[in-house]
Copies of this chain bind each other. A is one copy, B any other.
Amino acid sequence: MNFETILGSVDFLEFLRGKRATFLLSTSVTKTCEIPNISQAGIPGLLSLTPTLDAEFLCTKEVRSLQDIAKTPKGVPTPALITRAIHELNPFSNIEILDLGMQVIPKINYFKVHNFDIKISENITNGANINAFEIFQKGLEFGQNYQTNDDYVIIAESIPAGTTTANATVKALGYECEGYFSSSFKNSPNDIKNETINKALENLDKNDDIFQILSKVSDNMIIFSAGFILGSRANDIKIILAGGTQMASVLLVINSILRSMEGEIDSSNIALCTTKWINKDKNSNIKALLEQLDFSINAYASDFDFAESLHPALKLYDEGEAKEGVGCGGALCYGTINGLSKEEITKKIESFLGV
């Protein structure tokens, strides 16, 4: 197993080889996920439970707020399986949950669930109705004060319909993004997504500043994470943004905020890590998104795939039905720099499915 460098050099990830990591999972709900067929990240009609279930499964291997683990209609199992497999084979030192607006709080003990008093955001077609500046400030303060005994922090997300809000955010901020966004659908339901994004953008006023824009079209995860990353520069923590186009959107939001205040960022200790399924996706282009940043960024993709599995549900990943989420790309890169093999990861994931 190895990783591919999308942008930058191998050095950052190589430096982290063998080092200890804390895994932060941002869990959030946008009511955008209630639009029929907008996402397949979870159980139809119960998508708003997905972040809760992902957090429970990652921490305890149990799904407590529902009987069965979240599956998509075609039966693509949640990428939480991948992240959990890595955690069993070469554990993160620490997992913490960031509650950025959830319907149901995960039923887990001992694990820290940070409460920021953040509400579920609204459907972006009607305006997300987020106090973006407040959420950003909360992220900023959390980042400034965040302390860890570990060598680096991996930050991941679980937010159904998050690629739609990410796409709307980046488009609203004026970046080129036509065809650059992935979806958790293979045959991306572009009509519904584009319709949603276009409707959302109709709510914008040409005089809106950046936080007004974010308040209308974005989601709590993106806004909070942008604050967190900027705040964490105060103590220069090494951070891996574990995700695909959504984490690229966090970086583009940071970019826009810096432009608006003529600020700068030392981005040398930040990297994005994603999956092969995102990196090789023909229906999106994460590299093109990242190349629009004014600052340099290291970005990597795991080369893990399910070539060694015969399980039909897992094969759907290789067929493009699912590509990212719950930080599985970052977890796979972490697995690589800690000596795990494709074979043992595959076997572990299969064991969860009762193979």
Q: Which residues of A contact B (CB under 8 A)?
A: 9-12, 14-15, 17-20, 59-62, 87-94, 108-111, 337-339
A15 to B10, CA, bound (A): 32
Most chain B CB neighbours (cut-off 10 Å) among A90, A109, A111: A109
On whether A339 and B10 interact (CB within 8 A), knowing A15-B110, A15-B111, A19-B94, the answer reads no
On whether A14 and B59 interact (CB within 8 A), knowing A9-B109, A339-B88, the answer reads yes
**CB proximity of A305 to chain B, nearest CB, Å:** 18
Question: In the complex the two chains form, is B90's CB within 8 Å of A339's CB?
Answer: yes
Question: In the complex the two chains form, is B91's CB within 8 Å of A11's CB?
Answer: no
Contacts of A61 in B (CB 8 A): 10, 14
Question: In the complex the two chains form, is A91's CB within 8 Å of B15's CB?
Answer: no
On whether A60 and B110 interact (CB within 8 A), knowing A18-B91, A89-B339, A338-B91, the answer reads no
Question: In the complex the two chains form, is B60's CB within 8 Å of A10's CB?
Answer: yes
Question: In the complex the two chains form, is A110's CB within 8 Å of B17's CB?
Answer: no
Q: Nearest 5 pairs between A and B by C-beta? A: A18-B91, A15-B110, A11-B109, A17-B91, A89-B339
Question: In the complex the two chains form, is B111's CB within 8 Å of A337's CB?
Answer: no
Contacts of A110 in B (CB 8 A): 11-12, 14-15
**CB proximity of A149 to chain B, nearest CB, Å:** 9
What are 9 A-to-B residue pairs whose CB atoms are below 8 Å?
A10-B60, A10-B61, A10-B62, A11-B60, A12-B110, A18-B94, A19-B94, A88-B339, A91-B339
Contacts of A339 in B (CB 8 A): 88-91
The residue of chain B having its C-beta at the shortest distance from the C-beta of A238 within the complex is B110
A15 to B22, CA, bound (A): 12
On whether A109 and B18 interact (CB within 8 A), knowing A91-B338, A338-B91, A339-B90, the answer reads no
The residue of chain B having its C-beta at the shortest distance from the C-beta of A18 within the complex is B91
Contacts of A19 in B (CB 8 A): 91, 93-94
**CB proximity of A245 to chain B, nearest CB, Å:** 26
A87 to B18, CA, bound (A): 8
Question: In the complex the two chains form, is A111's CB within 8 Å of B59's CB?
Answer: no
